[in-house]
Amino acid sequence: MQQVKQLLETKGRSVVTIGPDAPVLDAIRLMAERRIGALVVVRGDALAGIVTERDYARKVILKGHSSRETPVADIMTPAPTTVAPTATVDECMRLCTELRVRHLPVVDNNRLAGIVSIGDLVKAVIDEQAAEIDHLHRYIAG
C-alpha cells in the first residue's frame, strides 16, 4: 500500500494557507480561486487549524454571521487530525471515513509537509487497483 509521502511526491507538497485573523470572506474567495474545499490555518509556522466550505456553511451562513466581519479563527476546526508522511493511503481512508473529514494535513517533524484530500486518496486506490489488474492480465496472458 502506498504511503502519503509517495502520494505527495506525485501530487505536490504545496498547501494553501490562511491566518486565523483573516476574514472568512477572504478564505472563501481563496478556496474559490484555487478550486479547493479547505484551507490550512497557520499562525506563523504553526498549524492552528483547518477551515472548510462545510465550516462556512454551518457556522456562518446558517447562523447569519457576516463573512466580512467573522475571523477564520471563529469557524475553523482547531487542532485538526493530522497524519505523518509514513501513513498509508489505507490508514488515511479509514481516518477520513471514521472521522467524517475530507482533508488531512500531513505533518513531518512538527512542520506542515502537505495535505491529502479524500479525492487524492480515492485516486491513489484506483491507480493501485488498475496497476494490479494490469499485472494480473499480463500474468494470465503469460
CB 34 within 8 A of CB 49: no
Tell me the whole-structure pTM to 2 decimals: 0.88
At 53-102, the pLDDT tens digits run: 999 999 988 888 888 999 999 999 999 999 999 999 999 999 999 999 99
- Closest by Cα among 29, 36, 32 to 14: 36
Residue 130: what pLDDT? 84
Among 4-8, 57-61, 115-119, whose mean pLDDT is lowest? 57-61
Q: In the chain, what are the domains?
A: 4-141 (3.10.580.10)
Q: Is the pLDDT of residue 11 over 80?
A: yes
- pLDDT-derived band at 135 (thresholds 50, 70, 90) equals confident
- According to DSSP, the residues that pair with 40 across neighbouring strands are 17, 50
